Chain A
Amino acid sequence: ETGVTQSPTHLIKTRGQQVTLRCSSQSGHNTVSWYQQALGQGPQFIFQYYREEENGRGNFPPRFSGLQFPNYSSELNVNALELDDSALYLCASSLLAGGPNTGELFFGEGSRLTVL
């Protein structure tokens, strides 16, 4: 059983550019969520995807968008990059299977984005 993997691990972009980050969910998981973690802060929820549709979103502008594919892998896209978008982007997968909302999330190690 493989864990959550993210790519790339590090990347540098310039202001105004666009970036795509990728995430492979843990085997058997059907839900993926994305988080932004600024230096010295806790992760902040961006959105989650279930059955290839976004069904929950945090306080992030529309230039943050995503996709979930039939194999449950996912992408996070950020357009018109700003300096404040520099952060660690974390992907987490989980299994939504009904019942109480108590399942644990499995996080990848993140993609560190630097915007110059």
Chain B
Amino acid sequence: DAKTTQPNSMESNEEEPVHLPCNHSTISGTDYIHWYRQLPSQGPEYVIHGLTSNVNNRMASLAIAEDRKSSTLILHRATLRDAAVYYCIPKSGTGGTSYGKLTFGQGTILTVHP
């Protein structure tokens, strides 16, 4: 599994954009980059994923570096509900036996101030 490096913690103010970085320099060519978040006292929640191109959905945007060795999760306007631990997870795009497997690191604890 590819190793990831994320800041231990970040802070933001409400309604400001947040850029959460992740380094994954050992990512393989078939690994997709997934982001999950875990709110307090809840299970992890899917946020977004991508392979090479930048991706947008209703929750966030994902910017992937051209060499794929890093990515940035962008929350366009942080809310108090976005306070969570954010995990960047390279996940193999092939192989049924790894379908349900996510390798979580320590993640980034995001604090949002009112």
Contact = CB atoms under 8 A, between A and B. Distances in A.
A103 B49 CA distance: 9
A55 interface: yes
A90 B44 contact: yes
Contacts of B58: none
B101 A33 contact: yes
A43 B85 CA distance: 12
B29 interface: no
Most chain A CB within 10 A, of B36, B85, B99, B102, is at B99
A91 B54 CA distance: 30
Contacts of B98: 56, 101
Given A41-B106, A42-B87, A100 B99 contact: no
B44 A104 contact: no
Contact of B42 (A44, A104, A109): A109
Q: Of B85, B91, B104, which is in contact with the most chain A CB atoms at under 10 Å from its CB? A: B104
B102 A105 contact: yes
Contacts of B93: 100-102
Interface residues on A, range: 20 to 34
B45 A107 contact: yes
Given A107-B44, A110-B43, A43 B94 contact: no
Nearest to A106: B46
B114 interface: no
Nearest to A97: B99
19 contacts: A31-B100, A35-B104, A48-B99, A48-B100, A50-B99, A56-B97, A56-B99, A56-B100, A92-B43, A94-B99, A96-B99, A101-B32, A101-B92, A101-B99, A102-B93, A103-B99, A105-B102, A108-B43, A109-B43
Interface of B: 32, 34, 36, 41-46, 49, 85, 87, 91-107
